[in-house]
C-alpha cells in the first residue's frame, strides 16, 4: 500500500465511537409489535440472507422481529420501528450470492427508521450503488454506519445523501483512490475512521464537519501536507494520521481537547514547529522526540505531562524555543540542553523539577523561566553572566546560598523571590 513509517499519531489505544455507543445503549427493545410494513421488510431480509447465515442469527420463529438478535426497536405511535440493526460477524458475503446481497441492500433502503447499521466483520467486497442513491430512504436518517473489516475495494462511494450520519467506520478494507468530495455532505459527522485501507492523495477536506471529534486515517498512503486548518476542529479528541506519507513543516494542535499521550511522529524529519499546547495530553514526553532534528519550536505547555524529560531532547540541535510550562514534569532538568547552541528561550515554570540547575544552561539562552518548581542547591556561578541573557525567573523554588555577583550587562529582568538566597534579591 505504500505505507510510510512517518506517523502523526494521537494514541488512545482503542478507537471508541461514542455516538454509536450512546445510540446502542439508549435504544430499548420495544414491547410493541413492529409495524406491518417493517415486519414484512424484516421477513424478506431474513429470507434473502437465509443462505448466508444460520437460523441462530435470527430466531425467525418469533413473530416479532424486534426480539431477534441484533435488532432493536423503539415505539412510534401505535407500533414499533427498527432503530438498530447489528449484523456483524454473521458471515455475510457479496461473492457467495450476489443477487441475494443486492436484494438485501434494496430492503435495507426501505427501513427509513434505521439509525444504526453494523455490518462489520463480514466478507462484503462491494456495496450495490443503489444504497447510495437519493431514493434510498435509510440514508437520510442513519446516524451510525459500520462497514469495517470487510473486503470492500474500489473508490470511496459518495456519502452526500447521508445527511444525519454521525459515525462512519470503513476501516480495515481495501478501498483506495483519492478522498475528495465524497464526504462533503456530512455536516453532522463526529467520528470518521478510514484506517487500514489504500487511500491516496491529500488528506480529506472536512471543513463542513465542524463537530468532528474523532478522525482516524492511519495506515493509508495519504501524502502531501497536513492541512493548516486541522487544528480548527475544536472538538477533536482523537487524531490518528500515523503510517502515511504526510509531510509539512508545522503541526499546530494547540488549544483543543486532545487527550492521551503525545503524538507519535515517527521519522518526520521535515517537521520544524510542533505546537501541542493547551490540551490534555498526559503521560511522559516521548523518548523519540530527539529524533526530529529540524525542530526549531517545541511547545508542550499547558498539558498534563508528567515524568522526566528525556535526555535525547538535547539532540535537537536547531531548537530555538522550548516551552514545557504548566505540566507536572519532574526529575532533573536535562544537562544536554546546555549543548543546544541555538536555544534562545527555555520555559519550564510550574512543574515539579528537582535537583540543581545545570551549569551552562544559559550559555546561549536569552530568556529562562524555571519558576515554581522544586529546584534546590546553589545558583551556578555562571548562570547569570552570559552576555546573551536578558530575562531570568527562578521564583518559588528551594534555592539557597549566595546570589552570583557577576551579572550580564544585558540582563534587565531577574526574579529570585521565594527562595533561601543570601544577598539582595532582585525582582
Listed by start position, the domains of the chain span 1-245
Q: Provide mean pLDDT across the span 206-223.
A: 90
Per-residue confidence (pLDDT) for residue 267, from 0 to 100: 55
pLDDT in tens, 71-125: 999 988 788 999 999 999 888 887 555 555 667 888 899 999 999 999 999 988 9
Nine-digit cell string for 49: 440472507
Per-residue confidence (pLDDT) for residue 176, from 0 to 100: 96
Per-residue confidence (pLDDT) for residue 98, from 0 to 100: 55
Architecture of the structural domain at 1-245: Alpha-Beta Horseshoe (3.80)
Binned at pLDDT 50, 70 and 90, residue 142 comes out as very high
* Phi, psi dihedrals of residue 215, rounded to the nearest 5°: -130, 115
Length of the chain: 427
Q: Provide mean pLDDT across the span 191-206.
A: 94
Residue 426 pLDDT > 80, yes or no? no
Per-residue confidence (pLDDT) for residue 345, from 0 to 100: 98
Q: Of 265, 330, 331, which is closest to residue 298 (Cα–Cα)?
A: 265
Distance CA 313, CA 319 (A): 9
Distance CA 210, CA 2 (A): 30
pLDDT in tens, 338-359: 999 999 999 999 999 999 999 8
Distance CA 188, CA 208 (A): 8
Q: Provide mean pLDDT across the span 307-330.
A: 96
Contact 291, 312 (CB under 8 A): yes
Contact 16, 75 (CB under 8 A): no
Residue 17 pLDDT > 60, yes or no? no
Binned at pLDDT 50, 70 and 90, residue 26 comes out as very low
Please measure the distance between the N-terminal and C-terminal CA atoms of the chain and give it in whole angstroms.
60
The residue among 427 and 266 whose pLDDT is bigger is 266
Q: What percent of the chain has pLDDT over 70?
A: 87
Residue 331 pLDDT > 90, yes or no? yes
Q: Provide mean pLDDT across the span 133-148.
A: 89
Q: Provide mean pLDDT across the span 208-228.
A: 88
Per-residue confidence (pLDDT) for residue 102, from 0 to 100: 67
Distance CA 116, CA 85 (A): 6
- Return the exposure string of 391-416: e unless at least 16 CB atoms fall within 10 Å of the residue's CB, then b: bbbbbbbebeeebbeebbeebeebbb
- Cell numbers 511522559 correspond to what residue? 284
Residue 328 pLDDT > 60, yes or no? yes
Q: Of 371, 372, 323, which is closest to residue 343 (Cα–Cα)?
A: 323
Nine-digit cell string for 75: 415505539
Whole-structure pTM over 0.85, yes or no?
no
3-state SS assignment for residue 287: helix
Q: Provide mean pLDDT across the span 244-269.
A: 81
Q: What is the DSSP letter of 264?
A: B
Q: What is the DSSP letter of 43?
A: H
Per-residue confidence (pLDDT) for residue 51, from 0 to 100: 62
The residue among 300 and 97 whose pLDDT is bigger is 300
Per-residue confidence (pLDDT) for residue 52, from 0 to 100: 61
Per-residue confidence (pLDDT) for residue 400, from 0 to 100: 96
The residue among 184 and 265 whose pLDDT is bigger is 184
Amino acid at each position: 500500500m505504500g505505507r510510510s513509517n512517518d506517523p502523526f499519531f494521537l494514541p488512545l489505544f482503542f478507537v471508541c465511537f461514542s455516538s454509536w455507543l450512546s445510540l446502542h445503549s439508549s435504544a430499548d427493545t420495544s414491547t410493541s409489535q413492529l409495524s406491518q410494513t417493517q415486519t414484512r421488510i424484516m421477513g424478506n431480509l431474513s429470507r434473502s440472507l437465509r443462505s448466508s447465515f444460520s437460523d441462530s442469527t435470527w430466531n425467525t420463529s418469533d413473530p416479532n422481529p424486534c426480539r431477534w438478535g441484533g435488532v432493536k426497536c423503539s415505539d412510534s405511535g401505535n407500533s414499533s420501528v427498527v432503530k438498530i440493526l447489528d449484523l456483524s460477524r454473521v458471515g455475510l458475503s457479496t461473492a457467495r450470492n450476489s443477487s441475494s446481497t443486492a436484494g438485501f441492500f434494496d430492503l435495507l433502503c426501505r427501513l427509513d427508521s434505521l439509525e444504526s447499521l453494523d455490518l462489520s466483520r463480514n466478507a462484503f467486497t462491494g456495496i450495490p450503488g443503489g444504497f447510495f442513491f437519493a431514493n434510498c430512504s435509510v440514508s437520510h436518517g442513519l446516524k451510525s454506519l459500520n462497514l469495517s473489516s470487510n473486503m470492500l475495494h474500489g473508490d470511496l462511494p459518495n456519502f452526500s445523501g447521508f445527511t444525519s450520519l454521525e459515525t462512519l467506520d470503513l476501516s480495515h478494507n481495501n478501498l483506495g483512490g483519492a478522498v475528495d468530495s465524497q464526504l462533503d455532505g456530512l455536516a453532522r459527522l463526529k467520528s470518521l475512521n478510514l484506517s487500514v485501507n489504500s487511500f491516496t492523495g491529500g488528506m480529506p477536506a472536512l471543513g463542513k464537519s465542524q463537530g468532528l471529534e474523532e478522525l482516524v486515517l492511519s495506515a493509508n498512503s495519504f501524502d502531501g501536507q497536513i492541512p493548516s486548518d486541522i487544528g480548527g476542529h475544536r472538538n477533536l479528541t482523537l487524531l490518528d494520521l500515523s503510517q502515511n506519507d504526510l509531510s509539512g513543516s508545522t503541526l499546530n494542535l494547540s488549544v483543543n481537547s486532545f487527550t492521551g499521550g503525545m503524538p507519535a511522529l515517527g521519522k518526520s524529519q521535515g517537521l520544524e514547529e510542533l505546537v501541542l499546547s493547551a490540551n490534555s495530553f498526559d503521560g511522559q514526553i516521548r523518548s523519540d522526540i530527539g529524533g526530529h532534528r529540524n525542530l526549531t519550536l517545541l511547545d508542550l505547555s499547558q498539558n498534563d505531562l508528567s515524568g522526566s524529560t528525556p535526555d535525547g531532547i538535547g539532540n535537537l540541535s536547531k531548537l530555538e524555543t522550548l516551552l514545557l510550562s504548566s505540566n507536572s514534569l519532574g526529575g532533573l532538568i536535562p544537562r544536554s540542553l546546555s549543548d543546544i547552541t541555538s536555544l534562545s528561550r527555555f520555559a519550564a515554570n510550574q512543574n515539579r523539577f528537582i535537583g540543581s540547575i545545570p551549569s551552562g544552561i544559559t550559555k546561549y539562552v536569552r530568556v529562562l523561566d524555571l519558576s515554581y518548581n522544586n529546584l534546590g542547591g546553589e545558583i551556578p556561578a555562571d548562570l547569570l553572566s552570559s552576555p546573551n541573557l536578558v530575562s531570568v525567573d527562578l521564583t518559588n523554588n528551594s534555592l539557597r546560598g549566595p546570589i552570583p555577583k557577576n551579572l550580564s550587562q544585558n540582563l534587565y529582568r531577574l526574579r529570585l523571590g521565594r527562595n533561601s538566597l543570601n544577598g539582595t534579591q532582585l525582582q
